[in-house]
């Protein structure tokens, strides 16, 4: 890579050619305040003017996030003019801001407050009329409060890259500009799939998940039997809420914390992930054998299900009818577990800790009830669990490692753990499909072709003469490519895994914020590598498990023997399967 000679505050440096001043300065050990710039160019439009510096050859101050370095450029970050201009930019933003910091859930991770501190900005320097604002909390998952929006556009870019079609945009003009779905609609009357990707990049509290912590407090007061389950991706990221390095697995401490939060039972959603594989692999082989609708597509990701119902209503027969793992868990908790323990299912309150905001919406679906009782009662994100632990005065990093409750719904295998990363459901299903067709375990266990972060991955498996072609897509932009092929009759696949969020659940919209300004102990490339690090935490847990195939989960075998009969039985269908319906995003 060619090098460029630059000077910062008179000190000479050599940096890679083509960097912006912001990137070059970071490489040389300086931190220029910035807001709208994010993730190496995602939405670096130079709109917020928080990153102004002086540079030779430029007329006046330049936005360092978009201005490239050139040979011999001399940069000043600390000149009085640059310092004053950055402070004025932030003060302008604050002057049109609601400044309800104490009540704002973003407080601890607010980048606007961070740059206000870094620039010495004061809130009341400019007074005047505020832009008219909108508060949209009509969905169960995502809340939009434009009184806290700084119009940086990160959410618009992220929604476009993750969702593909892009739900958010700038509405109105000039002083009245706000960020909203088209025609200023509320999220519930838009094609929003509730994935929360916009929430994970918003620098302020303008986009947040809808908190359900109060529901847990309420259930405790009512004396409910509280069962909590945690999804695999949560343990790969929860430590980040407590300053631990990205990719640190914290399963044991998470269990210890959940116990200290007063849950009667602490279980792992992985039990139900194994159950999902039993049902889904059986469904797939049944469709292949009996000429059913192919390719069959996974149904674990509620962001994807929303997208399918809104945008691809003609393809819903391709979806597996399996409920997602946490919904299966809730359904089993309120039937098998309730009957075995003699508890009225109405007295059981199931909380899911999820990396996902869309699961908050999923649990409200009419089709996800068993005997008219919702399978899951509350969903909190990894971030909300972090808040709950801090609120309760628990010193997370000092907790001992504890085990999940082992009775009845406690066993899980390595196959279940990798559900949290793109390709994981596919790999887990192939391990069991191979066994179902051959009666033998596959030698490799690992199916490398479906690992990694390519937008679309594919593989072919010859199982005793039955060839199974599979594909994996994550993020709706890539999923739509596979769906268009199915619609055109060109798809060669038998089985497709689709996850709503790019990277899968490890990078779900409810996971801890990955913002370099709050991660001083991480490597500089963390925004490029955090998904790999979280994924590695899950793959290593799979590797450590002695049992790595869902069909070898002893408690799952017992559940079928004593309660469900066999996979895809009538009873299994009643409790563990669901249905879908095409929706008009602008009405339903």
Total residues binding ligand FES (CB under 6 A): 12
Binding mask 505-534 for ligand SF4 (x = CB under 6 A): ------------------------------
Name the minimum Å distance from CB 61 to ligand FES. Answer: 11
Give which of ligand FES, ligand SF4, none residue 104 binds (C-beta under 5 to 8 Å, depending on kind). ligand SF4
Tell me how far, at minimum, the Cβ of 393 lies from ligand SF4, in Å.
22
Identify what 315 binds: ligand FES, ligand SF4, none; CB under 5 to 8 Å per kind.
none
Q: Is 195 in the site for ligand SF4 (CB under 6 A)?
A: yes
Structural contact between residues 284 and 319, judged by C-beta atoms closer than 8 angstroms: no
Return the residues of window 20-59 that contact ligand FES according to CB under 6 A. Answer: 34-37, 46-51
Phi-psi bin for 442: left (phi > 0), alpha (psi -120 to 50), beta?
A: beta
Residue (45 or 387) nearer to ligand FES, CB: 45
3-state SS, residue 136: strand
Distance of CA 582 to the CA centre of its chain: 24
Residue 112 CB, shortest distance to ligand FES, in Å, is 12
Considering CB distances under 5 to 8 angstroms, the limit depending on partner class, which of ligand SF4, ligand FES, none binds residue 167?
ligand SF4
Q: How many CB atoms lie within 10 A of CB 92?
A: 17
What does the block give as tokens for 485? 């092929």
The item of ligand FES, ligand SF4, none sharing an interface with residue 90, based on CB under 5 to 8 Å by kind, is none
What three-state secondary structure class fits 234?
helix
Which of 304/539 has CB closer to ligand SF4? 304
Strands (DSSP E) contained in 49-124 are: 52-55, 61-63, 74-76
By beta-carbon proximity to ligand FES, the closer residue of 46 and 164 is 46
Q: Tell me whether residue 295 or residue 355 sits nearer to ligand SF4 (CB atom).
A: 355
How are the residues of the chain apportioned to helix, strand and coil, as percentages rounded to the nearest 5?
Answer: 45, 15, 40
CB of 146 to ligand SF4, least distance (A): 7
Q: Which does 380 bind (CB under 5 to 8 A by kind): ligand FES, ligand SF4, none?
A: none
Structural element, H or E, at residue 209: strand 207-209
Site for ligand SF4 (CB under 6 A): how many residues? 41
Place of tokens 């391709």: 318
What is the per-residue binding string for ligand SF4 in 165-194, x denoting contact by CB under 6 A?
Answer: --xx----------x------------xxx
Closest CA to 358 of 225, 514, 162: 162
Unique residue bearing structure tokens 């990798």: 418
Which CB, 48 or 261, lies closer to ligand FES? 48
| Binding flags for ligand SF4, 84-123, as an x/- string (CB under 6 A) | -------------xxxxx--x-xx--x-xx----------
CB 37 within 8 A of CB 22: yes
Stretch that binds ligand SF4, among 145-153, 443-451, 551-559, 567-575 (CB under 6 A): 145-153
Which of 53, 77, 115, 150 is in the footprint of ligand SF4 by CB under 6 A?
Answer: 150
Do 31 and 18 touch, CB atoms closer than 8 A? no
Give strand ranges (E) for 56-206: 61-63, 74-76, 135-136, 142-145, 168-171, 178-181
Among 155, 354, 496, 514, binds ligand SF4 (CB under 6 A): 155
Residue 142, binding choice from ligand FES, ligand SF4, none, Cβ under 5 to 8 Å by partner class: ligand SF4
CA angle 309, 313, 315 (to 5 degrees): 110
Tracing tokens 């909390």 back to the chain, one arrives at 137
> Which of the listed partners (ligand SF4, ligand FES, none) does 195 bind, with a CB threshold of 5 to 8 Å by partner kind?
ligand SF4
Q: How far is the CB of 297 from ligand SF4 (least distance, A)?
A: 19
CA–CA distance, 264 with 341 (Å, rounded to integer): 13
Q: Which is nearer to ligand SF4, 198 or 479 (CB)?
A: 198
Binding segment for ligand SF4 (CB under 6 A), chosen from 202-210, 238-246, 309-317, 376-384, is 202-210
The 8 Å CB, 24+ separation contacts for 399-404 are: 399/252, 399/253, 399/256, 399/257, 399/260, 400/252, 400/253, 400/256, 401/251, 401/252, 401/253, 401/255, 401/256, 402/252, 402/253, 402/255, 402/256, 402/259, 403/252, 403/255, 404/255, 404/266, 404/267, 404/268
Strand blocks (E) in 306-429: 348-354, 369-370, 373-374, 378-381
User: What is the spatial distance between Cα 63 and Cα 184, in angstroms, rounded to a whole number?
Assistant: 30
- Buried/exposed code over 219-249 (b: 16+ C-beta within 10 A; e: otherwise): beeeebbbbbbbbbbbbbbbbbbbebebbbb
Residue 107 binding target from ligand FES, ligand SF4, none, CB below 5 to 8 Å by type? ligand SF4
Tell me the closest approach of the beta carbon of residue 117 to ligand SF4, in angstroms.
11
Site for ligand FES in 54-93 (CB under 6 A): 63, 65
- Choose among ligand SF4, ligand FES, none what residue 85 binds, the Cβ cut-off being 5 to 8 Å by kind: none
201 lies in the site for ligand FES, by CB under 6 A: no
Give 48 or 250: the residue with its C-beta nearer to ligand FES. 48
The residues of the shown chain that bind ligand FES, judged by CB under 6 A, are: 34-37, 46-51, 63, 65
The residues of the shown chain that bind ligand SF4, judged by CB under 6 A, are: 97-101, 104, 106-107, 110, 112-113, 142, 148-155, 158-159, 162-163, 167-168, 179, 192-198, 201-207
């Amino acid at each position: 890579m060619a090098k460029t000679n630059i000077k910062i505050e008179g000190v000479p440096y050599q940096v890679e050619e083509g960097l912006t001043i912001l990137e070059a300065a970071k490489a040389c050990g300086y931190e220029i305040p910035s807001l709208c710039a994010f993730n190496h160019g995602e939405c670096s439009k130079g709109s917020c003017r928080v990153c102004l510096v002086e540079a030779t050859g430029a007329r006046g101050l330049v936005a360092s996030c978009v201005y490239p370095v050139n040979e011999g450029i001399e940069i000043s970050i600390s000149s009085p003019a640059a310092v004053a201009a950055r402070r004025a930019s932030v003060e302008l933003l604050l002057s049109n801001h609601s400044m309800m910091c104490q009540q704002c859930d973003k407080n601890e991770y607010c980048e606007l407050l961070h740059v206000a501190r870094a620039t010495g900005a004061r809130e009341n320097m400019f007074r005047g009329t505020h832009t008219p604002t909108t508060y949209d909390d009509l969905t169960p998952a995502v809340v939009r409060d434009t009184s806290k929006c700084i119009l940086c556009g990160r959410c618009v870019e992220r929604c476009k890259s993750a969702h593909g079609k892009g739900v958010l945009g700038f509405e109105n003009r000039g002083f009245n500009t706000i960020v909203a779905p088209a025609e200023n609609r509320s999220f519930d009357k838009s094609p929003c799939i509730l994935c929360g990707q916009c929430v994970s990049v918003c620098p302020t509290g303008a986009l947040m998940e809808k908190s359900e912590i109060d529901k847990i407090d309420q259930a405790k007061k009512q004396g409910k039997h509280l069962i909590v389950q945690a999804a695999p991706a949560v343990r790969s990221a929860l430590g980040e809420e407590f300053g631990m390095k990205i990719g640190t697995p914290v399963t044991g401490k998470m269990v210890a914390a959940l116990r200290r939060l007063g849950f009667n039972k602490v279980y792992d959603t992985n039990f139900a992930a194994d159950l999902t594989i039993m049902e889904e692999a059986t469904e797939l082989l049944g469709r292949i054998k009996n000429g059913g609708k192919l390719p069959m597509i996974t149904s674990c990701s509620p962001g994807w299900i929303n997208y399918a119902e809104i945008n691809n209503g003609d393809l819903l027969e391709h979806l597996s009818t399996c409920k997602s793992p946490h919904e299966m868990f809730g359904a089993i908790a309120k039937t098998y577990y309730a009957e075995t323990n003699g508890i009225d299912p109405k007295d059981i309150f199931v909380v899911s800790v999820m990396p996902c905001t869309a699961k908050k919406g999923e649990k409200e679906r009419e089709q996800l009830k068993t005997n008219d009782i919702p399978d899951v009662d509350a969903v909190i994100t990894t971030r909300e669990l972090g808040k709950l632990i801090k609120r309760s005065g628990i010193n997370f990093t000092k907790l001992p490692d504890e085990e999940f409750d082992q009775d009845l719904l406690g066993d899980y295998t390595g196959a279940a753990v990798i559900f949290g990363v793109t390709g994981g459901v596919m790999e887990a299903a192939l391990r069991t499909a191979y066994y179902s067709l051959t009666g033998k375990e596959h030698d490799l266990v690992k199916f490398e072709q479906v690992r990694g972060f390519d937008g679309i991955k594919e593989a072919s498996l010859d199982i005793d003469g039955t060839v199974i072609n599979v594909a994996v897509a994550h993020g709706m932009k890539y999923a739509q490519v596979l769906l268009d092929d199915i619609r055109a009759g060109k798809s060669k696949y038998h089985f497709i895994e689709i996850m709503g969020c790019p990277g899968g659940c490890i990078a779900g919209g409810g996971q801890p914020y990955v913002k370099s300004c709050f991660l001083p102990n991480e490597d500089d490339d963390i925004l490029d590598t955090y998904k790999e690090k979280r994924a590695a935490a899950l793959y290593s847990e799979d590797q450590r498990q002695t049992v790595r195939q869902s069909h070898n989960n002893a408690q799952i075998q017992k559940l079928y023997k004593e309660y469900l009969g066999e996979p895809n039985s009538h009873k299994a269908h009643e409790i563990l399967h669901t249905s879908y319906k095409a929706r008009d995003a602008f009405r339903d």
